[in-house]
Chains A and B, each alone.
Chain A
């Protein structure tokens, strides 16, 4: 799921980059990677396909910690303990790739490798995240990242008239 490519910062019509969450070539069905996304506590300096399922064999431990069901696996000799996070309703995870540009080159502009235009290659509804040695916990920063979602929701949700009414009645402000 890693892409290691340099992106250009040349604005095109003021747009620095774009992300398309629908594959342009709609004849290919969207690849669903639910249960296949693993967040490891290390950096693997490799991008590309790999026979993960033949080597990486997580096992359920049957142990629950703070309501998280703990799984075990190993990677490069290290013991990993992790858990599956199902993304909240209304959210999805996406694997992005550099947008393939029809034709060899765009009429005028940067070659494909230098563009900052992305498209969706796969989507997923869960992430397995893994700690080295430590059991997963609700206080893990990765787990806590999800807290941002309801906060962002509250901050960016459009305010309706009734919300305003309720808020103003709380503070005793008269509405005209």
Chain B
């Protein structure tokens, strides 16, 4: 999380305050997802409305950056961001017990509320652009922070100026993060013409084509859990995970069978196709618990 809130709490923060929360980069197949918030005293509400923060998507990039600079230098406004790394998004969504994007989003927004409250800001109203069902989301937040009144709505970024402000914070931060991204990978001929990151963007598609790798898939900038990646993976080297479950063919009862792993990596001797780990089955317990199998053929 980052912010440039002053180290000493401004005086207005002990008056009742309002905050808006919005996200940027939820849809793109690459780069971080950013949650941003903007807060100010409720008495500042009318002035805030006059600052012409519109929904960040309707503004030009230069205009957004200009507005972000203005709000950063405005001492009557506080802001913070939570940058969720694409590696973290992929990892969470591909965990053995998968965490979906809505949950990740909710936790991020909730984290921003906690952060601002911890700083000592007297938050009384928080406006949030919804992800998933607004009422469930509102309940979840209200339970965690009973002192705060939450308004969770669709298109909150165009309804409430404080959320429009938050959307500018989030969008500019996301754009800068992608622009300044340093690729982990050191392979040759890699470039940074990512495009917008949206799956439909031809520049993004071209970048994905240029950077796919038969074994590794993609650089870690890419969200491996995105549906956009699936057609690519079908053409790359197949990778089977212990945590992957495969549907029993023709089973309507939802019968699932855990992928049997057999001799992962060590020897590549082909056995039954789904068995990719040794089991030590049928041997004494010492070997079975250690999955040590006797091998006479490699």
**In the complex, chain A residues whose CB is within 8 Å of the CB of B214:** 46, 50
Per-position 1/0 for A42-76, Cβ under 8 A of B = 11111100110111110000000000000000111
B43 to chain A, nearest CB (A): 45
The answer to whether B223 and A77 have CB atoms under 8 Å apart is yes
Closest 10 CB pairs of A and B: A77-B224, A2-B268, A77-B90, A79-B91, A43-B276, A4-B268, A55-B216, A54-B187, A46-B237, A45-B238
The 24 sampled A-B contact pairs (Cβ below 8 Å) are A2-B267, A7-B269, A16-B296, A39-B266, A41-B242, A42-B239, A42-B241, A43-B277, A45-B238, A50-B214, A53-B186, A74-B90, A74-B91, A74-B220, A76-B94, A78-B90, A79-B87, A118-B298, A132-B96, A132-B241, A132-B242, A144-B289, A148-B287, A148-B290
Which of B's residues lie within 8 Å of A, judged by CB? 87, 90-91, 93-96, 184-187, 213-217, 219-220, 222-225, 237-243, 261, 264-270, 276-277, 286-287, 289-292, 296-298
Say if the beta carbon of A1 comes within 8 Å of chain B: yes
A residues contacting B by CB (< 8 A) are: 1-4, 6-7, 9, 16-17, 39-47, 50-51, 53-57, 74-79, 96, 116, 118, 132-133, 141-142, 144-145, 147-148, 151
Nearest Cβ on chain B to A53's Cβ, whole angstroms: 8
Residue of A with least CB distance to B184: A57
Q: A69 → chain B, closest Cβ, in Å?
A: 20
A43-B240, A46-B215 known; A55+B185 contact, CB < 8 A: yes
CB of B292, distance to nearest CB on chain A (Å):
6
Q: Quote the shortest CB–CB distance from A54 to chain B (angstroms).
A: 4
Complex CA–CA separation, A96 to B295 (angstroms): 14
A-side contacts of B243, CB under 8 Å: 132-133
B297 adjacent to A45 (CB under 8 Å)? no
Beyond A45-B240, A56-B216, A147-B290, whether A40 also contacts B264 by CB under 8 A is yes
Contact of A51 with B187 in the complex, beta carbons under 8 Å: yes
Q: A39-B265, A77-B91 are in contact. Are A44 and B292 (CB under 8 A)?
A: no
CB distance from B129 to the nearest CB of A (A): 27
A54 touching B185 by the CB < 8 A rule?
Answer: yes
Known: A43-B265, A141-B291. A54 touches B186 (CB 8 A): yes
Q: Which residue of A lies closest to B223 (CB)?
A: A77
B237 partner, pick from A9, A39, A45, A54, beta carbons under 8 A = A45
With a 10 A CB-CB cut-off, give which of A3, A55, A56 has the most chain B CB atoms.
A55
A141 to B264, CA, bound (A): 13
Contacts of B242 in A (CB 8 A): 41-42, 132
Contact B90–A42 (Cβ < 8 Å): no
Report the nearest B residue to A4, measured CB to CB. B268
Least CB distance from A24 to B in Å reads 18
Question: Smallest CB-CB separation from B220: which chain A residue?
Answer: A74
Which residues of chain A come closer than 8 Å to B94, judged between CB atoms?
A: 76-78
Q: A76–B223 Cα gap in the complex (Å)?
A: 9
Contacts of B266 in A (CB 8 A): 1, 39
Which of the residues B96, B264, B289 comes within 8 Å of A39, measured between beta carbons? B264
Contacts of B268 on A, CB cut-off 8 Å? 2-4, 47
A55-B187, A148-B290 given; 9 more Cβ-contact pairs under 8 Å? A2-B265, A16-B296, A39-B264, A50-B214, A76-B217, A77-B220, A78-B90, A79-B91, A132-B242
Q: Which residues of B contact A16 (CB under 8 A)?
A: 296
Least CB separation from B296: chain A residue: A16
Contact A145 B297 (CB under 8 A): no
A2 to B214, CA, bound (A): 16
Report the separation of the CA atoms of residues A42 and B292 in the bound assembly, to the nearest whole angstrom. Answer: 17
CB neighbours (8 Å) of A40 from chain B are 264-265
A74 CB contacts on chain B under 8 angstroms = 87, 90-91, 220
> How far, in angstroms, from A3 to B264 measured CA to CA in the complex?
12
In the assembly, what is the distance between CA of A118 and CA of B31, in Å?
46
Q: Which residues of A contact B264 (CB under 8 A)?
A: 39-43
Q: B215: nearest residue on chain A (CB-CB)?
A: A50
